[in-house]
Amino acid sequence: MIGKFATAIVGAALLAGCAADRDVVTEAPPQPTVTSAPVVGKPAPTPAATDPAPSLRVTGQLTQGGFIRGTASRGVRSVTLDGEPLRVADDGSFFAAFDRDADLDHTLVAIFANKRIERRIAITARDWDIERVNVARRPGGMTDAFWRIREPEWKRIVAARAEDTGATGWKQEFLWPATGRISGMFGSQRIYQGEPGSYHSGIDIAGGEGTTYVAPADGVVVLATPEPFSLEGYLLIIDHGNGLNSAFLHNSAILVREGETVKRGQPIGRIGASGRATGPHLHWSIKWRDARLDPILFTGPM
Ligand SMILES: [Zn+2]
C-alpha cells in the first residue's frame, strides 16, 4: 500500500509539469454587434480593469478515490468538471473528487469574460485489494422486516449528507482522526465465485474501546445518532462544506451534538464496536457528492 500511495503523491506532484495538462486557451469568438435589439436579461459583466490575466491552478490526488483542489483567478464566471458545475468560493478556490470507480479522463473548464481555459485531468487507476473466494455470496437482499428498520435510518443518512452548512473544512489539509493499526483499506472487495460483494467504503483504524478521536477538518455536525443504527451503530457525520463530508461509524460515544461547529483536531467521539462490527475500530468514510473517496489520500501516511 505504501507503494500505491507514493505513486499517487508523485502523480499529484507531476501535475504542474504534465504535458497533457497544458492549458488550452481559446479566445471567445467576436460577438456580432446588435444595436436595435431590446436588452433581455442581465447584461454580461465586463471584466474589471483590475482583474488579472485568467489563470487556473490545480493540485490534488489524481487517482481513483482522490480529489483536486484548484483556484481560478478573479473574474471567473464558472468552473465545470465533465460538464458538472463546481462551486467556486469567493477567493476563486474550488474542489472536486473522483469516485473509487471513476473514469480516468476528465475535463476541467473555467470560463472567464473573454477566455475559456480547458484542462485535461488524467487520473490513475488503483490496484484495489480484491480477494476472490470460492464460497457463495450469502443470500443477499434485505428482508422486508429488516428494511422497515433500515429505511428510516438510510433516509436520515441521505438527508444528513445532503445538508449544505457552508463549512470550509474542504479547503484544509486533513488530520488522521485517530492513530493505530489500519485494519481495513478503502476500496477492498471480495468476489464470491465471480459475484462481487460491495467494496469497503472507508478506512478502518483499530483502536481500544473508548479511545477518543478528533475531527480531521473543520465542519458542522449533521448527524449524531442518539441510538445506534443497525449497521453503523452510533453514527457521526461531519459536513466539511462544498459537498464533502466524513462519516464515523461504530462509536461507543459521540461527544458533539447536531448543528455544532467543530474545529480540526477537536475531540468528537470515542471508538467502539456498536452496530455491525466484530471489534472496536473507527470506520471513517469520506464522500463528495455521490463519490466515495479514500481517506488516506486526504491525510497522507499515518
Ligand atoms: Zn470499515
User: Which among 70, 77, 81, 82 is positioned nearest to 112, based on CA atoms?
Assistant: 77
Residue 156 has a pLDDT of: 98
Q: Give residue 248 CA to ligand 1 midpoint distance, Å.
A: 9
Q: What is the CATH number of domain 2-26+43-122?
A: 2.60.40
Name residues of the chain where pLDDT drops below 70: 1-49, 140
| Residue pLDDT, tens place only, 284-298 | 999 999 999 999 999
**Residue 240, all three cell numbers:** 466539511
CA of 189 to the centre of ligand 1 (A): 12
Q: For residue 115, what are the β-bridge partners?
A: 27
- Determine the distance separating the centroid of ligand 1 and the alpha carbon of 100, expressed in angstroms: 15
Domain locations in the chain as residue ranges:
2-26+43-122, 130-299
- Cα of 205 vs centre of ligand 1, distance in Å, is 8
CA of 207 to the centre of ligand 1 (A): 13
Contact 181, 204 (CB under 8 A): no
Distance 286 CA to ligand 1 centre (A): 12
Q: How far is the CA of 208 from the centre of ligand 1 (A)?
A: 15
Contact 242, 234 (CB under 8 A): no
Residue 157 CB neighbour total at 10 angstroms:
19
CATH architecture under which domain 130-299 falls? Distorted Sandwich (2.70)
| Residue keyed to cell 469497503 | 200
Beta-bridge partners for 97: 67
For 255-276, write each residue's pLDDT tens digit: 999 999 999 999 999 999 999 9
